[in-house]
Amino acid sequence: VVTIYDVAKAANVSPMTVSRVINQSPRISEKTRAKVEEAIRQLEYIPNKQARSMITQKTKLLALVIPDLTNPFFTSIARGAEDKAHQKGYQLLIGNTDENLSKESSYVDVLLSTGVDGVLVTPVGDASVSAWKKLGKRRVPVVFIDRFIDSIPADIVLGDNYQSTKLLVNHLVDRGHERIALINGPDNTSNSRERLSAYREALSLRGIPLREELIVSTQFQAEFGKDLMLTLTSLPEEKRPTAILAANNFIGVKTVCALRELQLNIPEEMAVACFDDPEPFSDYNPLLTVASQPAYELGHLAAQLLIERIEGQAPEKPRRISLPSELIVRKST
Amino acid sequence: VVTIYDVAKAANVSPMTVSRVINQSPRISEKTRAKVEEAIRQLEYIPNKQARSMITQKTKLLALVIPDLTNPFFTSIARGAEDKAHQKGYQLLIGNTDENLSKESSYVDVLLSTGVDGVLVTPVGDASVSAWKKLGKRRVPVVFIDRFIDSIPADIVLGDNYQSTKLLVNHLVDRGHERIALINGPDNTSNSRERLSAYREALSLRGIPLREELIVSTQFQAEFGKDLMLTLTSLPEEKRPTAILAANNFIGVKTVCALRELQLNIPEEMAVACFDDPEPFSDYNPLLTVASQPAYELGHLAAQLLIERIEGQAPEKPRRISLPSELIVRKST
DNA sequence: CTGTTAGCGCTTTCAT
DNA sequence: ATGAAAGCGCTAACAG
């Protein structure tokens, strides 16, 4: 392996001078710099980041911890985060939690050991506190994406759940629906809670009575089928929902599949809408009406906030940024 | 920061003993081990991987360099690779090249400097040679996924292009098509070349004359529209294709969009099929007939081969593994 | 079974 | 503008 010493020897200077050239120090004579750069080229020297990290305590490594990379919502977040990271000279590590607390916590330990400079995360749920407190204790900045944990002071970047929910509810009401079921995520996540509360608010604003029996809750990433759907569709005629609002794309997709199994037509017998687009290629074969959160921007912005914080350019106080969704009306409503 | 020395002091042993406990050395008395582990817990000690890497020359970091994480094909590869990496105690870095040579080469430089233990890559094209040769020179193992570069001896994991192409061509022929256009990827990629050659072979096997004018080529990730489609659809009646075979999911999707713009019905006026599923949630709203390559397994297996090589458990000779695709017939044909 | 010594490749600090 | 010394946190190699 070619080290800074080899370069120094070849250029007839001290290792320190080579270091200065690599780090673009201005206090170097043009002549020396040229000599050193030539030696670097000759020897194909590549600086060893680990050695540098040991001293500077910076690795230029960021981590993104999300439930599942294959969900287009998180894929776009990842892409946005990676683009920003790369642009700023950072590299991005990825971890999938599968909504599993222990997997999440094992990632946190590994990341701490790896020495990432910061972490972007969609936490599994409120119970993740302890894991994320660990990072705080070790002064590793965290930025929450999509979901946050109240007791942890960190920057937050998310879609505007109130605005999105209203977009969806209003659209369904405009289509003539009054009995709109909500298939929500687990209530130990901030976004489920916000969406539930926005759902209540939106209905009330439109003067539609709230029906508790139309609110059910499941996991964001769990398979479910007829059974859950039957609890809704087997309600007596006058209580049965005519539309379903799914709390994320996965639930939306599973809802569509379950309705098909039950031989119910969409949207005639049941309209369906959800948060987050399940389609990575929009407009090529659209089905579900969605409130599309700007996932790419979420990831991009989150990475930006994180890097600012790492580099000491962020205000003390945690920031919270919420971006509006776009309603995309399609065949399902 | 808590170091191995702090733990040593607290446990009244030497740093080396602590190191042995961390690394699960068997030559440690139960008593000492317990004492040390207690101290580790007390102090919440976390080993510093960079320091370890400096000595062992291993970082437990893998990189995945792909064209675009948001393409479901690559998303699944990434997911498969990450699962295997995590299972084996490695972490995965991600880089998007956007089919851009200079972006790819800049990633290679960064990865070299970061000191990844190995790289999984879908190279932009044959012109990537020099970048990937660099890694070889520095003894960083590489595994090619989906596309490979002939002159570089490295493990290769890909879908069986011959089998997949035949699946698709045979299906179209069975549906009565004789004039099947191929919208291929750039011919400086191994998979485009294999698919073209398989296309010729498959047609010939079915006794269908090859028509050069039905073979066009574009980029895997480039927008295209009416124009390219017009070169095909404006052929005289008796030469005009009745089916289109797209070389990847992106091209397939764009083909569908272009046909819609031209107001051509799918599949009545033009059938369409492609490689790789554009749907991350299969069966929820299927449109395109595809030869679905086992992307997850490709990533999983590639990571496995890479780790074997890193850990010296691989044969000298590069391995080449090709996995069969599954034909999924849908509305587009 | 446990400890000592040395050094991985680099940058910080202090000299010159 | 350049260099020398010291050490980041850890483990390989050897000693006992």
How far apart are alpha carbons A56 and A43 in whole angstroms? Answer: 25
Q: Which of B243, B173, B165 is nearest to B208 (CA)?
A: B173
B112 touches chain A (CB under 8 A): yes
- pLDDT reported for residue B314: 94
Q: pLDDT tens-digit profile of A53-82? A: 999 999 999 999 999 999 999 999 999 999
Size of interface A-B (CB pairs under 8 A): 132
Residue B222 has pLDDT above 90, yes or no: no
CB contact under 8 A, A54 and B59: no
Q: pLDDT tens-digit profile of A113-139? A: 999 999 999 999 999 999 999 999 999
State which residue of chain A sits closest to B2, comparing Cα positions.
Answer: A138
Are B9 and B35 contacting, i.e. CB atoms less than 8 angstroms apart? no
Query: Cα distance from B4 to chain A (closest Cα, Å)?
Result: 13
Give the predicted TM-score (pTM) of the model.
Answer: 0.96
- pLDDT reported for residue B285: 85
The whole-number Å distance from B57's CA to C1's C1' is 27
- pLDDT reported for residue A183: 96
Provide the mean pLDDT of chain B. 95
State which residue of chain B sits closest to A260, comparing Cα positions.
Answer: B284
Nearest to B284 among A61, A78, A256 (CB): A256
- Helical pair B15-22 and B30-43, crossing angle rounded to 10 deg: 90
B118 DSSP β-pair partners: B62
Tell me the mean pLDDT in the region B285-308.
96
Nearest to A96 among B79, B280, B288 (CB): B79
Task: For residue B56, count CB atoms less than 10 angstroms from its CB and return exposed for 0-12, middle for 13-18, buried for 19 or more.
Answer: exposed
How far apart are alpha carbons B145 and A332 in whole angstroms? Answer: 37
Query: Cα distance from A204 to chain B (closest Cα, Å)?
Result: 33
Residues of A in contact with B82 (CB under 8 A): 69, 94-96
Residue A191 has pLDDT above 80, yes or no: yes
Query: Cα distance from B76 to chain A (closest Cα, Å)?
Result: 6
Cα A256 → chain centroid: 24
Strand D bases, protein C-beta under 7 A: 1-5, 7-13
- pLDDT reported for residue B226: 76
The whole-number Å distance from A52's CA to C11's C1' is 7
Are A298 and A80 contacting, i.e. CB atoms less than 8 angstroms apart? yes
How far apart are alpha carbons A45 and A61 in whole angstroms? Answer: 22
CB contact under 8 A, B115 and A75: no
Tell me the mean pLDDT in the region B297-315.
97
- pLDDT reported for residue A201: 97
Q: pLDDT tens-digit profile of B41-51? A: 999 999 999 99
